[in-house]
Structure 1
Amino acid sequence: MRKRIGWLTLLLLLIFGIFLSLTVGTIPLGLNDLLHVFQRTASTSQQLIVFDFRFPRLLVSILAGMGLAVSGYLFQTITHNDLADPGILGINAGAGLTVLIYLGFFATGESSWFLPLIACAGSFIATGLVYYFGRQSKRITPNRLLLAGVAVNAGISALTLIGTMRVSKDNYQFVTSWLAGTIWGTTRQHVLLLLPWIICLLPLVLLRGRSLEVLELGDEVAVGLGVKLKRTQLFFLVCAVCLAAASVAIAGSISFIGLIAPHIARQLTGKKNNQTLVMTALIGGLLLLFSDILARVILPSGEMAAGIIVSLIGAPYFILRLLKRS
């Protein structure tokens, strides 16, 4: 019963969030205006606002939130650490650093088809550093991995800050807003850059969902049940890194969604399975979608970055989970 109520609530929130995302902004639109837009009877300016500005922004919010949430779910399962998150472990920071170098020194500030691949390279470098510093006597413990991730995240963030100060004045504002996790200014090109990663990797993870359930039981149990442990872990690790990197490359450096969404989904479903994974993706999309909506209206003039709103929610949640874990 609780699971059905949870699904219904999430679907209603999704419908409500889509409506708000298309109507809330500097130029507000009503329900009648929105209906006229979809009937192609609205003014040219209103159609431009909805189809060229707000609709791509809506899709990027949902897709990036889904990617970050599923990435966090996979990291928590692989590491057996419910505090694991691509942002906390430094995965997002690694993607952010390489994207910053590319945008700040080699590009004109516009996205290209190389952007997710560049972000993936940085994320894999960060993953390698976390693994190297997190291992202890050839055995990785969850707490040591978390501490290594925090350290790598801090170091890469410092390098990113230095890189921000070295970029040209023309790219400085663009880079700093991107690092803050702003979704303002996203276009159809950004949607097309992110969409293939989500629609390819998410079904792959779902197809291997049974193996993911077995990994949750522990490494020794998984080996005893016939799971090829290292190969399976490597598969899910690559999927997690790519999902986080592609999302960060398009939506900016956003943390804590991968931490919050899996916990809420597990509380609603009671266990980890494919249904929990899908719910995690939906919750992640909703978190970033409503954070973006709130970022539009929280200031009397202008907008706040959605990544800041997510951090304001996620940082206290992380501390509470850490205290509970202790």
Structure 2
Amino acid sequence: MASSQTLTDARPAFEVLAWSREVVEPLLRQAVDRLPPPARRIAGYHFGWHDEDGTPTRAGGKAIRPALTLLSARAVGGHERAAAPAAVAVELAHNYSLLHDDLIDADEARRHRPTAWKVFGSAQAILVGDVLHALAFDVLACGGTALAAHGTPLLSSALLDLAGGQCADVAFEARTDAVPVDECLEMVRCKTAALLGGACALGALAGGAVPSQVERMRAFGEQLGLAFQMVDDLLGIWGEPSVTGKPVRADLAQRKKSLPVVAALASGTPAGDELAELYHRDTPLTDAELVRAADLVELAGGRAWAQTQADDRMESALVELQADTLVPGAAAELLNIARLITRRDH
């Protein structure tokens, strides 16, 4: 039982993620199998279960959000099986957003292979994203009384925030004025952190948590989500393509107003001013200009600021795990996942 787990029982992050996939993937496949064949084929490709012609593969993601959901249930003294439907719903919702994100950002690769829209076309990728969104709520509605009654509004609120954050992110790219750092942080809270917070809150709810515990787990997930995005933005500029699976300095090439960039542009430094010049050009940046842009972000303090913010948000997340009402071993495993997220290279 989760309630008897101790700190010494805590598993390392890679074991927790493997355990999470063992619990969630069979149920996720069952849900996807209910889709019409064309949607099922594209969804299976996107999840990494098979290649374009249906040959089985193993190219899936880390499944961090389902792991957070299952562990949150254990952290409040519940059993992971009660939270499995919530974990499946969260993974479906997350992948709906990824299918749409890849189109919005014109990303041609994910997990070291072509994105779904590059293989099957834009219209099909959009439609399958929509189907996964609907399927997430269907799975949640069938996941038990607590999830059906209280989990649905939790997930709905997180996805409304996510869509609002995406809208803001896209709007930032077209803006010629300086985007304030606080406004960018709020965009990130909505776009990324809200769903991680929702994943943890759903797990706690399924585990039988009282409202204060649900809110504590939501706050943990949200702060972790902010740290996650800081690291993701750093990797979008300085990540190694062979590890991240994305082109070098991809975010700069797309003139994305990521957090390090916004901090650099708002720095009031000569490097920030030069970066603004590059960002406002109408023509694509050359390879040399992309290298220069990355250097300017660092010179203007954007890289150091984002790393400090990631560390600070991580500390804020960990404060939420220190409650004596949480099961110590599960809280320790949540800590291991949090460290994986904020120290990752892809």
Give the TM-score normalised by structure 1: 0.30
Give the TM-score normalised by structure 2: 0.29
Whose RCO is larger (CA < 8 A, sep 6+)?
1
